[in-house]
Amino acid sequence: MAKVKIATIWLEGCAGCHMSFLDIDEAIIELAKVVEFSRSPITDIKEFVPVDVGIVEGGVGNTEEEEVLKELRAHCKILMAWGDCACFGGVCAMRNTFDKEEVLRRGYIETESTSKGKIPCPPGVPALLDQVKP
């Protein structure tokens, strides 16, 4: 029997789902007999190849995450949302009740511990989406 090929991605979230997966300890040896991991934070493989199942952890909060998710979708037969953040937005989606500029202003300029803060905008930093999408 051929192994099921799996790729996982970690988007906007805490990585708790991937950590929980690693907590299966020795059972991972049995899993390795039937599953082949491709691109994943677990394997540190960065390139996408065709897989049977793509697993998404985390919400989509910026343009780079949106592109990574689209690339995973293009390389898998089945796409699965894994965990609260991927299914519902999780803690990251708390910003969805505010305007994006308001969130950035509060986080970088108005916090009590910030002195002469400014909203960073270096080249290459992905743009925030207006809302986190599950």
Helix runs in the chain, H state only? 16-22, 27-31, 63-75, 84-88, 100-108
CA-wise closest residue to 41 among 20, 64, 70, 66: 20
CA-based R_g, the chain, Å = 17
Please report the pLDDT score of residue 88 as a whole number: 95
**pLDDT (0 to 100) of residue 71:** 98
Better-predicted residue by pLDDT, 123 or 81: 81
Q: Where are the domains of the chain?
A: 4-88, 97-127
**What is the pTM (predicted TM-score) of this model?**
0.88
Taking residues 77-81, what's their average pLDDT?
Answer: 98
Q: CATH classification of 4-88, choosing from 1.10.274.10, 3.30.565.10, 1.10.3720.10, 3.40.50.700?
A: 3.40.50.700
**Do 52 and 4 form a contact (C-beta atoms < 8 A)?**
yes
